[in-house]
Amino acid sequence: MIAEYEALTREGVDVPPFVLSVVAGTYQTLRDPNAARRLYEAALAGNPKDFLTRLSLFYAQIESEDYDSAFRTIDALAANSLSPFS
């Protein structure tokens, strides 16, 4: 997954937000929360109301020990009452 993503970016392909989220999840599984964060943030730039991506960003922030950002992310998620069912 990561190799394909990197090949696409080298070719200048504009990767859609939902693909960025999937690749970010792969980085997170491989214990690279900083790479995951960058991709989750890029995915949210294209789709800021994506509940699961925002929640995944929170977990990546926790894993990278950026607790201030993690609390801001989860507080904003709760304040906006975003849910996967809305």
CATH code of the domain covering residue 20: 1.25.40.10
Task: Let me know if residue 85 belongs to a domain.
Answer: no
pLDDT at 82 over 60: no
Q: How many domains does the chain have?
A: 1
Domain assignment present for residue 34? The answer is yes
pTM of the model: 0.87
Residue 86 placed within a domain:
no
Cβ neighbours for 85, distance < 8 A, ≥ 6 positions apart: none
Q: Where are any strands of DSSP class E within the chain? A: none
Q: Which domain holds residue 44?
A: 2-8+16-79
**pLDDT tens digits for range 41-76:** 999 999 998 999 999 999 999 999 999 999 999 999
CA dihedral 65, 36, 30, 19 (to 10 degrees): 160
